[in-house]
Chains A and B, each alone.
Chain A
């Protein structure tokens, strides 16, 4: 059956590599949101001495090319150090798949974004970040745009449930406009901690709920 996809895309889509979860991963990130239609969760396990990626797995709620890109990008990363992995772009992934239809580019970007986020978080965690700029509000908000509000399906900045952010003496205070017992509150908190918890000059992240 001819489709706009290359044979390789279909091959990776039908039998994706590195699918699943990793127990106790060094990093787990989710990019995208169900509201925009594509979502990809990436798990990384990294060797603490060599900083080589020893295991990588993904899950996808996305289109065929999102699944194929997840598969190929996890292939490309295998055995590389985290710094090498940072250099892998969506173009590398698209090329490795023999090209993607133009309308599907954003799907490959999503997989590359997930990889970069995961590596950045790992590097922050391990103190591998070279340029140590003090954390500013901008950085915090930029990172929060990667956290999805499951109630609306868009990120928590866009959905306006961030009521207040304060950085004080190495502590980030975040006030979230959700009920403490909201079914997604724990989930949102966990994701915020994952995104902000490893900045080099931040000792603690305090998330409070205010509805």
Chain B
């Protein structure tokens, strides 16, 4: 088979051709810097497109456009939220609450803040990856200034009870940030009903270009910028705007608003069929994380007993199927997933974790080929494995 079947959409997605089309004129035809919009008609045109992008994202999140600030992506947004709040409001307290299954961008930022004297408290997650809002409540003290809980987990797709946590934080006047990189453009979000103060998103996770994202900062919430410069984005994010990227992000947001429902239903159908067939054809395969119906529709994370995922991924790649082991960001590391460890998966099993994440460009006709390939490879790896003792 010459076609590449790309099943690692939580890692990144292909940019929608309509998005590229929208971006292209702003490379060479209209390359202007929107900062000089008062004196240049070229700049004014770019500025209008940038503001349209801001509006599109605001609509997608139920926010006002002046609450959206463009960044270089999810990692920068997470850094801005956590460090920006901590350094601005350290006089109010020094405690921050989060969970151990957050993305590295959050965990490493917290580690840095710990070095500055902040105290980080982690609420436990259960074997499915859910945090209990009651535990957040218990961890909150008078010194707590910020709670950061991801909307959905990038490895296992567990969707956290954001609304309840948001309510708890709002009632206590504690800032609440959510890393929504895996959910924006995929499932409905409303920053008002979620009661979030800050939210991170990234364009390339929902068919936009790489290297661009945004942060929602609720009106009136002050953050300390960690880059100094020309004061773009109301000082929250200095640096000449990545106009092409931002315009691409805006278009991706517009398309998501219109097509989300259909896309999610297609993706879910394919994911469910895949899981159904895998379960029927391959023995000793288990689901990691939440039940199939209470996780992101695109996510399948499974343990395949007796084998390691690395040779499995290499062999799948040989057959044109690209899937993931854990999170793509940690793929270069030989240490097992911190997410699967936190939900209590054993080391032996973590090495056999396979993450399949479906995207809107995947074709459901390929499910049989994928499952057949998987089955054959798993069989041959199990023959090789000293841990495999049969069914």
The residue in B307, B320, B384 that gathers the most chain A C-beta atoms within 10 A of its C-beta is B384
Interface string of A32-61 (1 = CB under 8 A from B): 001111110100000000000000000111
Per the bound structure, the CA–CA distance linking A34 and B314 in Å amounts to 19
> Could you tell me if B317 and A63 are in contact, using CB atoms closer than 8 angstroms?
no
Known: A14-B315, A64-B310, A67-B311. A59 touches B347 (CB 8 A): no
**B334 at interface (Cβ–Cβ under 8 A)?**
yes
Tell me how far the C-beta of A27 lies from the nearest C-beta in chain B, rounded to whole angstroms: 15
Q: Which of B318-332 contact A (CB under 8 A)?
A: 318, 320, 332
Per the bound structure, the CA–CA distance linking A47 and B348 in Å amounts to 36
> Could you tell me if B347 and A5 are in contact, using CB atoms closer than 8 angstroms?
no
> Could you tell me if B384 and A34 are in contact, using CB atoms closer than 8 angstroms?
no
Tell me how far the C-beta of B102 lies from the nearest C-beta in chain A, rounded to whole angstroms: 24
> Could you tell me if A62 and B383 are in contact, using CB atoms closer than 8 angstroms?
no
**B117 at interface (Cβ–Cβ under 8 A)?**
no
Q: Which of B354-391 contact A (CB under 8 A)?
A: 383-387
Which residue from B347, B348, B384 sits with its C-beta under 8 Å from A60? Answer: B384
A64 — which chain B residues lie within 8 A by C-beta? Answer: 310-311, 314-315
Known: A1-B318, A13-B311, A37-B334. A60 touches B351 (CB 8 A): no
> Could you tell me if A35 and B384 are in contact, using CB atoms closer than 8 angstroms?
no
> Could you tell me if B385 and A34 are in contact, using CB atoms closer than 8 angstroms?
no
Tell me how far the C-beta of B305 lies from the nearest C-beta in chain A, rounded to whole angstroms: 11
Tell me how far the C-beta of B114 lies from the nearest C-beta in chain A, rounded to whole angstroms: 27
> Could you tell me if B318 and A30 are in contact, using CB atoms closer than 8 angstroms?
no
Per the bound structure, the CA–CA distance linking A66 and B310 in Å amounts to 10
Tell me how far the C-beta of B316 lies from the nearest C-beta in chain A, rounded to whole angstroms: 10
Q: Which of B293-314 contact A (CB under 8 A)?
A: 306-308, 310-311, 314
> Could you tell me if B386 and A39 are in contact, using CB atoms closer than 8 angstroms?
yes
Known: A16-B384, A60-B385, A60-B386. A10 touches B311 (CB 8 A): no
> Could you tell me if B385 and A59 are in contact, using CB atoms closer than 8 angstroms?
yes
Per the bound structure, the CA–CA distance linking A13 and B325 in Å amounts to 18
Q: Is the interface of A mostly helix, strand, loop or mixed?
A: mixed
Chain A contact residue count (CB 8 A cutoff): 26
> Could you tell me if A19 and B384 are in contact, using CB atoms closer than 8 angstroms?
yes
**A3 at interface (Cβ–Cβ under 8 A)?**
yes
Per the bound structure, the CA–CA distance linking A113 and B222 in Å amounts to 58
**A79 at interface (Cβ–Cβ under 8 A)?**
no
Question: Which A residue's beta carbon lies closest to that of B335?
Answer: A37
The residue in A34, A60, A66, A103 that gathers the most chain B C-beta atoms within 10 A of its C-beta is A34
Question: Which B residue's beta carbon lies closest to that of A58?
Answer: B384
> Could you tell me if A61 and B317 are in contact, using CB atoms closer than 8 angstroms?
no
Interface string of A1-35 (1 = CB under 8 A from B): 10101000010011010010000000000100011
**A153 at interface (Cβ–Cβ under 8 A)?**
yes
Per the bound structure, the CA–CA distance linking A13 and B314 in Å amounts to 9
> Could you tell me if A63 and B310 are in contact, using CB atoms closer than 8 angstroms?
yes
Which residue from A5, A13, A14, A62 sits with its C-beta under 8 Å from B308? Answer: A62
A34 — which chain B residues lie within 8 A by C-beta? Answer: 347-348, 351, 387
B306 — which chain A residues lie within 8 A by C-beta? Answer: 61
Question: Which A residue's beta carbon lies closest to that of B346?
Answer: A153
Tell me how far the C-beta of B346 lies from the nearest C-beta in chain A, rounded to whole angstroms: 8
B336 — which chain A residues lie within 8 A by C-beta? Answer: 37
Per the bound structure, the CA–CA distance linking A125 and B320 in Å amounts to 48
Which residue from A1, A13, A35, A66 sits with its C-beta under 8 Å from B347? Answer: A35
A1 — which chain B residues lie within 8 A by C-beta? Answer: 317-318, 320
Tell me how far the C-beta of B19 lies from the nearest C-beta in chain A, rounded to whole angstroms: 27
B308 — which chain A residues lie within 8 A by C-beta? Answer: 37-38, 61-63
Per the bound structure, the CA–CA distance linking A63 and B352 in Å amounts to 11
Per the bound structure, the CA–CA distance linking A1 and B5 in Å amounts to 12
Question: Which B residue's beta carbon lies closest to that of A38?
Answer: B308
B383 — which chain A residues lie within 8 A by C-beta? Answer: 19
A62 — which chain B residues lie within 8 A by C-beta? Answer: 308, 310-311
Which residue from A5, A36, A61 sits with its C-beta under 8 Å from B387? Answer: A61
The residue in B306, B315, B332 that gathers the most chain A C-beta atoms within 10 A of its C-beta is B315
Interface string of B129-164 (1 = CB under 8 A from A): 000000000000000000000000000000000000
Q: List 10 A-B contacts (CB under 8 A).
A: A3-B317, A3-B318, A10-B318, A14-B318, A16-B384, A37-B334, A37-B336, A59-B386, A61-B386, A62-B308
Extra inter-chain contacts (5) besides given A37-B351, A62-B311, CB under 8 Å:
A1-B317, A59-B386, A60-B384, A61-B306, A61-B387
Q: Give the 5 A-B CB pairs with smallest separation, nearest first.
A: A63-B310, A64-B314, A59-B386, A34-B348, A64-B311
Binding site for B on A (CB under 8 A): 1, 3, 5, 10, 13-14, 16, 19, 30, 34-39, 41, 59-64, 66-67, 103, 153
Binding site for A on B (CB under 8 A): 306-308, 310-311, 314-315, 317-318, 320, 332, 334, 336, 347-348, 351, 383-387
